[in-house]
Every structure is written in C-alpha cells, then in structure tokens.
Amino acid sequence: MVHQRADSRLEWWKCCSIYQIYPRSFQDSDGDGVGDLNGLLSRVDYLAWLGVGAVWLSPVYRSPMRDFGYDISDYTDVDPLFGTLTDFDRLVAALHERDIKLILDVVPNHTSDQHPWFVESRSSRDDPKRNWYVWADPDADGGPPNNWLSRFGGSAWEWDARTEQYYYHAFLQEQPDLNWRNPAVRFAFADVLRFWLRRGVDGFRVDASAVLAEDPLLRDEPPNPDFDSKTPPPERFKRVFTDVRPETMSYIEEMRAMIEEFPDRALLGEVQGSIDRIGQFYDAERPRFHLPLNFLLLDTDWDATSLAAGIDQYINAIPDDAWPVWILGSHDKPRIATRIGIEQARIAAMLLFTLPGTPIFYAGDEIGMPNSVISSEEARDPFEALVPGYGLNRDPERAPMRWDGNEKAGFTSGEPWLPLGDHVKERNVAAQLSDDRSVLSLYRQLMALRQTEPTLHSGQFQPLRSQSQVLLFERCSDDRRLLIALNTTTGSHTVALHDRGMLRLSTHLDRLDEPVASQLHLRPNEGVVMEMLTSSLSVSLPGYCGSRVSKANGGISSRPSLQWVIETSD
Ligand code: GLC
Ligand code: MG
C-alpha cells in the first residue's frame, strides 16, 4: 500500500507516526544476544511496511553501558556493540530511501565517568576541564554539600578523594552531570549535534532535558509532602532547585537556535514532571522544543472519565499554537499491553492515532508485547539494584522484540540479553502478519488511515461528553467529521447518535464501511472511527465543526461539548 502524505503543508514531525527503537532489543545480527545497527538495517522494510514516518533511536554511542547507553563516553562514535559509523550512515540512507526520518537520542545532562572530559576534569582542581562538571566542597561536617538525591538512589554527590571535592550526578554515580553554566560545555555540545546533523539525522530526542541546570546556591530541597512508606526513597524531597530551573530553559533555546542552522529538523524533549508545567517547554519569546514529550496516556487511570479529564488537562496546559504529542510506550515505562490488557491495548492504539498531535509508540507495542517477567536476581537495570522493592525495574519493557515464534523469536541466534517473556507464540510479527485481525494489522490500518485522512492530523479536536465508560470525541475539518468512540470496558454499550454515519474502522477489524443510523452498538473492548454524514447534521447544531475556531492546538475546538445519550445494555 502506498501511504500518501495527507497534508503536505504540515511539517514532517506533525504528520508522521514516530516509532521508538531501543537498539539493544530490536534485532541482533551477530549472535551476541544484543541488538545492533546491522540488525536494525535488516528490518527497515518492515518499518516502511508498517507505515511509520520516523524512528527515534535510543543511544548507540560509545558507552560503558552502566545505564545501557545513556552513559556516553564518546558522543561522536558508535559503540562497537552496535556497529560502526559506517553502519550508522548506511542506516540513515536506508531509512531516507524509504521516506523515514531518523531522530537520535542525545544525552546532554551527563556523560559517563569514562568520558575523557570527566577523566580530565577529575584529574586536578586546576585542570582546564574542571569546570565542565559540577564540583563542590563538603559541607561543614565533611558530608555532601546539600541534601540533593540522585534519581537512582542515595546522595546525588560523590566524593572524589584525590581532589577532595564532591561531584554532582542526577542519575548514576557513573553519570556525572555536565556543568551547563559553562559556555565551553554548551559550545562543545552544539558541535556534537552538528556532527550528527551533518550525517543526516533529522532531529533529536533530548534526554533528561529538564535537569540541565542546578541552583547555583546549592540550596537544600524541601520535603516532599506526598512522601510516605510506599514512595521510593529518591522522591523524599521535592525537586525545586534541580528541576526546570530558568537557566535550563535558556539552554534549550540555544539548542533550538543551533538546530535551525539546518533546515527541516525537529527537537523533541524528555521533560519529566507534571503536565501543568509542560507548556513552558514549547515556544516562549524564543522557541524551545517542537515536541516536549507527553506521557499522560501512560500515567492516567484507564477509564473514559480519567482519560477525558487527562486529555483536557494536557490540551489546556499547552499554548494555543502548540502541537500536541502523545506517547504510548517507552524503554522507561511498563508496557501498555500489560498495564491495561491486550484487549484495551487496541483501544489505546486507536486513541493514540486519532488524538490531535503526533503519535509516538515503542517497538513491540504494535504486536501487543507484554512486559517480560524478570526476577530481582536476574535484573540488569541498575535502577532495580539501587532502589529495590518498588517495582522500578525497567528490564520488563526492554525485553527483545519478537519477530517469529521460534525459540529465540528471530531476535538472535545467541542468548538474548534479557528473557523474551510470555506469549511469544502469538505475539510476534510473523504470526500477526498472517492474521488480518491482529494487533499488528490494527496498528498498520490506523497509521494508514491517519495518512490518508487529513482530518486526523490537522482537523479540529472536539471532545464530547463521555458516559458509561465510552470515550467520545470528534475530529473535524471543513468537509469531514469523524466520530471516535472507545469502549473502555468489558461490557457492551450503545451510543445514540444525532446523525447518520459510516463505520470506517473497528478495533476488532471485522466491520468496515458499515452504515450506522441512530444507534452505534459497541461490543466489549471495541473502539470505532466513524465518518459522520454532515449533510444530515442535527438542526440543533448550526455551524457545528464547520466553523473555524481560533484556538489552533492541532485544530482544537474550544466549543462546549455536546450531550450524547448512551445506553448500557449489560
Ligand atoms: C532518561 C532515559 C533513561 C535514563 C536516564 C538517565 O530518563 O530515558 O533511560 O536512565 O535518562 O540518562
Ligand atoms: Mg549484536
């Protein structure tokens, strides 16, 4: 199937679906049990077939792999575990040939402690690179300079016996924080970005971008009022002096200005923290990120009311002209198919591709991959070792991709670096390719629909009142009106319509182009996209959806929502 670009006036990062690949776990080519670039290269036709418009690739730089690549010892080379720069260039070319963009993960906040910059910095207090990292004297009793905690457990300060100072690390002690206040660091980092932009990458996902700067007074963090016995110890204090500091915003603006030296590139940012603050990461007086990543769908309770409220909260938290973005999975969060179950994972997929804004999903979500069950003893993630007992292990979502139902799932000829997990027989690409009602087929059809339906990316968003756990909204353009109805329960429901329509897609993939008159019957766990026949629009709704609204949030309408009558049949 040829996917036409539905609206050529939109920038690519607005109309494409983005697919995150964790390279260790995608495809191994050399039998060492760890995925690599040549493995990925052998799967680019799959990506084209699936219909993704961009790949976000987690780090492949040289790294001691303490945090599996998020601890970088050379920003301008590929780790031999993954391949070479030549392999990387071949990957860029192969993706571009298929009209797929490449977004590279970059990690500006910290390096590995093995990075030559840090090796120099810790060599002496007089070293020219001393000030490239965050060093501080002990407090009066000889302990750490203040109460700041590492996100991965314990003090965020590590004592350096040779030079008798502490260095700061927001994450592992092997991940010292760069000192972004130092212009030399910012220049060096801009050169790193230029290096990859010249190699043809189309954008970056900026790791941990909210924590680039710390309070220069090193003030103590206040207690976290929500802290109780179930809260992981690293969250004992509120992160006021280490998170989203004003200086961080200006560094992001500099990064964005640098990116603009190259045409048509995009900047995505990992901006941990509350949804209410996400708006700041878009354009201020100077532009910041194109897409500050939004994890709301992974953090919201899975029922229609909570989802409707969460979507509303997010839409209201971003500026009027900001482009929304939604994420359904990542290498840091439990898999959606495990969290809400495989039936509802189909609903989640339909939601992802019909909401206004850019959809991002994580390799394996398209086959309903579950978390792997990994015992504490088997855990590879350092987070689990450092903060055990709080369910923080990220290995379960990092288990290898399943390409077929064979013993090693087609991932490797060797021993996979993490156990494959359950349901390999039915939840693998080959099995689902031959099943035209599989989750994989659903993902592909949803992406194809989004590509051929401009209303789904540039149409207005009209929330409707959700009842009986059916999440309802519409996407509208001048001549089209699509109703999305998602049953978040295991019971069936009937939605009374004010209008006739044509069913364009059901998450069950067993009905298509079915006319619906006044009642839409939704089976358990069923979601549908319906095209409404606007000619017969109810008289009580003059100008509905056809009228332009000024709020431009990916075409979000601020019109008050309609009442829909829903009957529950069981
Ligand atoms: C980001 C990454 C995560 C990593 C951390 C430290 O949150 O997504 O995987 O551990 O940064 O680099
Ligand atoms: Mg390998």
* Euclidean distance between CA atoms 198 and 262, whole angstroms: 9
Percent of the chain, pLDDT > 90?
Answer: 87
* Euclidean distance between CA atoms 221 and 147, whole angstroms: 7
Token pair of 453 as six digits: 């339906």
- Confidence bin at 478 (pLDDT 50/70/90): confident
Residue 97 dihedral angles phi and psi, to the nearest 5°: -55, -30
Query: Among 66, 169, 207, which is best to mutate for testing ligand 1, by the most ligand atoms less than 8 A from CB?
Result: 207
Kindly name the residue from 45, 99, 260, 261 that is annotated as catalytic: 261
Mean pLDDT for 256-262 is: 96
User: How many whole angstroms from 332 Cα to the centroid of ligand 1?
Assistant: 7
Residue 431 has pLDDT above 80, yes or no: yes
Mean pLDDT for the chain? 92
Percent of the chain, pLDDT > 70?
Answer: 92
Mean pLDDT for 219-234 is: 97
Q: Are 154 and 386 in contact (CB under 8 A)?
A: yes
Among this protein's residues, is 261 annotated catalytic? Answer: yes
Q: Are 77 and 61 in contact (CB under 8 A)?
A: yes
Query: Among 171, 295, 360, which is best to mutate for testing ligand 1, by the most ligand atoms less than 8 A from CB?
Result: 171
- Confidence bin at 534 (pLDDT 50/70/90): low
| Higher pLDDT pick, 566 / 497 | 497
Residue with tokens 């302990």: 143
Mean pLDDT for 76-100 is: 98
Name which of 23-32, 54-63, 76-85, 374-383 the model is least confident about: 374-383
* Euclidean distance between CA atoms 547 and 542, whole angstroms: 9
Among this protein's residues, is 426 annotated catalytic? Answer: no
User: How many whole angstroms from 331 Cα to the centroid of ligand 1?
Assistant: 9
| Higher pLDDT pick, 102 / 554 | 102
What is the number of the ligand closest to the CA of 269?
1
Residue 560 has pLDDT above 80, yes or no: no
Question: What is the predicted pLDDT for the residue at 499?
Answer: 86
Query: Among 60, 67, 206, 392, which is best to mutate for testing ligand 1, by the most ligand atoms less than 8 A from CB?
Result: 67
* Euclidean distance between CA atoms 265 and 502, whole angstroms: 38
Name which of 33-47, 226-240, 353-367, 375-389 the model is least confident about: 375-389
Kindly name the residue from 207, 332, 366, 526 that is annotated as catalytic: 207
- Ligand 1 atom 4, closest CA: 70
71 lines ligand 1 (CB under 6 A): no
- Taking only the tens place, the pLDDT of each residue in 490-506 is 999 999 888 899 999 99
Mean pLDDT for 276-301 is: 94
Strand-pair category, 203-206 with 157-160? unpaired
Q: Say which residues have a Cβ less than 8 Å from residue 274's Cβ, sequence separation at least 6.
A: none
- Confidence bin at 562 (pLDDT 50/70/90): very low
Nearest partner of 567 among 485, 467, 487, 486, judged by Cα: 467
- Taking only the tens place, the pLDDT of each residue in 317-345 is 999 999 999 999 999 999 999 999 999 99
Token pair of 216 as six digits: 């220069």
* Euclidean distance between CA atoms 303 and 450, whole angstroms: 24
Mean pLDDT for 116-123 is: 98
Local structure of 269: helix, strand or coil: strand
Question: What is the predicted pLDDT for the residue at 283?
Answer: 86
What is the number of the ligand closest to the CA of 79?
2
Mean pLDDT for 171-190 is: 98
Q: Are 114 and 73 in contact (CB under 8 A)?
A: yes
Question: What is the predicted pLDDT for the residue at 285?
Answer: 86
Residue 546 has pLDDT above 50, yes or no: no
Residue 140 has pLDDT above 60, yes or no: yes
Greatest Cα-to-Cα distance within the chain, rounded to the nearest angstrom: 80
Mean pLDDT for 65-86 is: 98
* Inter-CA distances, 512 with 451, 504, 505, 530, 534, Å: 18, 5, 6, 10, 19
Question: What is the predicted pLDDT for the residue at 498?
Answer: 83
Judge if pTM exceeds 0.85: yes
- Taking only the tens place, the pLDDT of each residue in 457-476 is 899 999 998 867 999 999 99
Q: Which residues, chain by chain, have CB under 5 Å from ion ligand 2?
A: 28, 30, 32, 34, 36
What letter represents residue 253's amino acid? E
For every residue of 52-110, DSSP letters joined together read -SEEEEPP-EE---TTTTSS-SEEEEE-TTT--HHHHHHHHHHHHHTT-EEEEEE--SB
Question: Looking at residue 223, what DSSP letter applies?
Answer: B
Name which of 156-170, 287-301, 551-565 the model is least confident about: 551-565
- Taking only the tens place, the pLDDT of each residue in 10-48 is 999 999 999 999 999 999 999 999 999 999 999 999 999
User: How many whole angstroms from 238 Cα to the centroid of ligand 1?
Assistant: 19
Local structure of 307: helix, strand or coil: helix
- CA distance between the termini of the chain: 40
Residue 541 has pLDDT above 60, yes or no: no
Residue 542 has pLDDT above 80, yes or no: no
171 lines ligand 1 (CB under 6 A): yes
- Confidence bin at 274 (pLDDT 50/70/90): confident
Q: Are 176 and 133 in contact (CB under 8 A)?
A: yes
Residue 561 has pLDDT above 50, yes or no: no
Q: Give the CA angle between residues 107, 112, 118 to the nearest 5°.
A: 110
Mean pLDDT for 294-310 is: 96
Residue 398 has pLDDT above 60, yes or no: yes
